[in-house]
Structures are given as structure tokens and as C-alpha cells.
Structure 1
Amino acid sequence: MSSSTGRLAGKVAIVTGAAMGQGAEIARAFVAEGARVVVADVAKEQGQALADELGESAHFAHHDVSDEGSWTTLVADTEERFGPITVLANNAGVLRFGDIVKGDLADVELMWRINQMGTFLGMRAVVPSMKRAGGGSIINASSVEGLAGMAGCTAYAATKWAIRGMTKCAAMELGGRGIRVNSVHPGMIDTPMTRVHGGDAAMEFGASKVPMRRVGTPSDIAPVYVFLASDESGYMNGAELAVDGGVTATHAFGG
């Protein structure tokens, strides 16, 4: 990570799914650039360890994104600790594979509750705080599966397309209040969420489908979040940023 230039000085951020993987790297990058960050996750041990690593500018909060009451508590606690919220990184998500006929409905519901409803609840929860702050930036984690399709990913893709659509609608609703809403669309990123589905073999297969011939890492994603959280992206609203090594340029991932 590059040395800090204070690009997020004065920002108060919530990062969901922040205990490990992509979310942890986003939290590290935010703190390095001067933000105060709430590390929000259901994984208590890993989340607390990260907050301890990041020091006084970070705080861990046990948080279930699919629970509206948990969002109410999280926002109130963040405001009490750090002040009004100016950045929300809606990063929490789960991935389950399954075809249309044999896919497990419990997995479908889990992805809907965490990926889709969690993102919706997060946006709704932070708006009053961001209005008190005079504006803010909401960054929603979609996926390349929110831009195209892939066999075995129907339910997952449905949530990521929904996030893409919700982002655009929210951008239209909230832009006049000084709240920008944008979506990030990572390709295959080497994280615990993806590694559980095949380990090194899955990473090697994924790399073979990417024009750059490698899968991404959390450090490829975090700078995009820093940019969208910063005032440098002040005129970006309703945008979708693919960070995928060229996959969506070629449609290779689905083909």
C-alpha cells in the first residue's frame, strides 16, 4: 500500500464484511488515508483483531447486515464514537454456486438476505446520518456477475444485478442530498470467500479466463474504494466500475 496522503482525512466510514479478505483491505486503506473506520462483521475474533491492528482510528462492531435492528444500532454507535457517517462500503457478501434445477433454496435465501437485502438496509440506515454530515459516499459491492452471467451462478448473479440496479436508483434519489452512490464490480478476487470453492485449482482456472492471466487481490480493489470514498470522485454518482482484469471486455468469464 502506498504511503498516506490524507485523502480521507475527516471521513467517518463503515465497512461491512470487514473482518477479512477484500473488506479488511478496504478498512486498512481507509485508515491509512486518514478515515476513522468501523470494522463491521459477524466474525468477532477476526474483526476485533483487525481493529486492534488499525489502532485508535478503528473500532470493531459485531454486525449482521441482514438485520435491520443491527443497522440501527451500528449507525447510532458509529455516530456516538466518531460522528456522522460520510462513507458506507457495503462490502459484505456470500457466494454459493448451484444450478437452477438442483440449487439449494437455503443458499438462495442466504445470498438474497446478505448480498441484496443487506445492501438495501445499509443504504437506508446511513442516509439520515449522511444528511447530518452534509453528504456522503455509498459504495456498493456488486460483481462482474452483476454485468454479465455465468452458469451455476443464477442466484448469486441475481443479487449482484439487484445491487447494480439499486445503486442507480439510489443515486437518482440521493444525489440531490449530496449523497453519491456507486457500485464496484470485481472479477475473481483471491479471498477466503472464493478460495473455499476450490482453493488453488480454482484460482488457476480463474486466472486462465482473465486477459491479464491472473486473478485479482484485495489490494487491487481497495484503491478503487478509496477513490470513491474521497472527494476526488465528487462528480461520480450512479457509476459502475469493473475491476476485473479485462473479463467483462471479452466476456471470457462466462464463456
Structure 2
Amino acid sequence: MWSSWLKRFEVRFINKKVFVTGASRGIGQGIAEAFRAEGAWVIGTRTGEQCAPDEVCNEWFSADFTQLEQIAACAEFVRKTSPDVLVNNAGINKNAPFVDIDPDMFRTIQQVNVVAPFMLCQAAIPSMKQKGWGRIVNISSIWGKISMAHRASYSASKFALDGMTVALAAEHSIDGIIANSIAPGFIDTDLTHHMLGDAGIKALVSKVPANRLGQVSEIARLVLWLASEENTFIAGQNVAIDGGFTRV
């Protein structure tokens, strides 16, 4: 009995095509690897030169979302490949005091974090609607639920991404397309360690009720469940996965 139950979860995504942006490192890489481990055909985006298939993704698509024409090319690729699951994970951030924010940088952050997911969702929805089944998971942030000083550009983008997700759910849940966003908190990645250092991480962890950083695998498990056939009625939500940080 237990072996059959476990086997069912090991292949939740067999015969499913999954598209994950920003899959070359950190949270995106963990999500891509988790989908592939459960039988999905995984297509990931990354910047730089085109890359051959590897242990992370069955296919790679090279795109720099700071360039609008490359977003358009990626959207056309999504339209042709007709994924069953779309995970918009790629994002950028640059902290600055509000009055010092460079307008061009503000626009660039919105383009990568909002315009790119918007265009990819537009490209993915027609085939999902035709199949009567699809899942969209947008990777937001706790800074799309709350904010703080120097986060205006990033928070603006993540609040917008959440709003877009709610609108998607309102319009396309009836088509069998379930859209949600998740809001990761402080996650144990190379980037976190590089930006904060040991002392910064220790100070940060003291503010998290769970008293630790989150793990990429924890983010991936939540994304997979939201994207699976097990999720039949959770739509339009922005699920925080932050050890309780935004609730206390």
C-alpha cells in the first residue's frame, strides 16, 4: 500500500511539460530539478549562450529579460511548446532609497519581474485553455506582501505580480487553469550568503519565528503541489513560505 502511494507522488508530472524561468541557479534550479525528478519534461530559461540539456533541464532557452525583444522571443517559444505548467521565477532586484531610484532601473525591474511573466502567461494560456488544464505558479516574495525601506522598486514589481495572478485566477480558473503565486522568505541560497554574510544571516534568522533560513527544497515542494493535479481548488492565492516572518 505505502509503496504504491509513494510511487504515485514520484511520477506526478509524467507526460507533463513544465517551463521554468531563471532555472540556472538558486530557487529556479531547485524547482526545475524537482519537476524533472517527478517525471516532467522540463524547459528552463537562463541568460548567456544557448546551453545543451543537462541534469537540471531537458531543454534550455537563452533569454535576457532586460531586453524586451528577448522576452518576446521567449513568449513565442512558449506559445509553440505549449507547456502544461508555467513557473515564472526569474527576477531581479536593486535596493535604493526611494528618492535615489533611477527611473530606468525601476522600469527594468518591472520589465523583468512583471512584463516578462505577463507575456509568458499570455503565450501559455491558449494551449492550456484548449487542453482544459494548466497550472501557473508565479514566484513573488515576502516583499510582495509587506515592504520596508529601500525596497520600492522590488516591492512594486512583486505586488504587481500578485495582482496579475489574482486577475488570472478570476478569468481562467473556469478554463481549468489554476494560477497562484508564492512568497518565499529568507532562503538558504548562495546569493543570500553572498549578500548578507554570516553576521547578516544570524541577525536575520533571529527575526524569523522558525529561527532558520528556508530551504530551496521546501519552496520546490510547495510549487510542485500547487502545480499538480492534487491542487483542484486553491487559486488566486499568494502563499507565504517564510517560517512565519510576515505573520508575527
TM-score, length-scaled by structure 2: 0.88
Aligned residue number for residue 23 of structure 2: 18
Aligned residue number for residue 54 of structure 2: 52
Query: In the TM superposition, what is the alpha-carbon distance from 1:76 to its structure 2 partner?
Result: 4.5
Secondary structure (helix, strand or coil) at the match of 1:185 reads: strand
Residue identity in the other structure for 2:61: A
Matches within 5 A, 1:88-103: 88-103=86-101
Aligned residue number for residue 246 of structure 2: 248
Asked if 1:34 is matched to 2:34, the reply is no
Does the 8 Å contact 1:71/1:125 carry over to 2? no
After TM superposition, the structure 1 stretch with the greater mean CA deviation from structure 2, 128-137 or 88-97, is 128-137
Aligned residue number for residue 64 of structure 1: 64
User: RMSD over aligned Cα, in angstroms?
Assistant: 2.1
Does the 8 Å contact 1:15/1:39 carry over to 2? yes
Query: In the TM superposition, what is the alpha-carbon distance from 1:241 to its structure 2 partner?
Result: 0.9
Asked if 1:109 is matched to 2:114, the reply is no
Matches within 5 A, 1:202-213: 202-213=200-211
Taking the aligned partners of 1:204 and 1:194, their CA distance within structure 2 comes to 12
Does the 8 Å contact 2:187/2:215 carry over to 1? yes
Aligned residue number for residue 164 of structure 1: 162
Does the 8 Å contact 1:139/1:225 carry over to 2? yes
Query: In the TM superposition, what is the alpha-carbon distance from 1:211 to its structure 2 partner?
Result: 0.9
Taking the aligned partners of 1:98 and 1:34, their CA distance within structure 2 comes to 42
CA displacement 1:13-49 (0-9 Å, x = unmatched): 100010100000000000111111101121447xx37
CA displacement 1:37-62 (0-9 Å, x = unmatched): 101121447xx37x4124xx711111
Aligned residue number for residue 253 of structure 1: none
Matches within 5 A, 1:69-148: 69-76=72-79, 79=81, 84-148=82-146
Secondary structure (helix, strand or coil) at the match of 1:60 reads: strand
Taking the aligned partners of 1:120 and 1:193, their CA distance within structure 2 comes to 26
After TM superposition, the structure 1 stretch with the greater mean CA deviation from structure 2, 2-11 or 207-216, is 2-11
Aligned residue number for residue 3 of structure 2: none
Aligned residue number for residue 226 of structure 2: 228
Matches within 5 A, 1:194-205: 194-205=192-203
After TM superposition, the structure 1 stretch with the greater mean CA deviation from structure 2, 3-12 or 211-220, is 3-12
Gaps of 5+ in 1: 251-255
Gaps of 5+ in 2: 1-5
Tell me the matched-pair count.
239
Identity %: 36
Does the 8 Å contact 2:93/2:153 carry over to 1? no
Q: 1:65 to 1:232 in 2, by over 3 A?
A: farther
Does the 8 Å contact 1:16/1:92 carry over to 2? yes
Does the 8 Å contact 1:65/1:122 carry over to 2? no
TM-score, length-scaled by structure 1: 0.86
Residue identity in the other structure for 1:13: V
Match of 1:6 among 2, 11, 20: 11
Q: 1:61 to 1:6 in 2, by over 3 A?
A: same
Query: In the TM superposition, what is the alpha-carbon distance from 1:104 to its structure 2 partner?
Result: 3.2
Query: In the TM superposition, what is the alpha-carbon distance from 1:196 to its structure 2 partner?
Result: 4.2
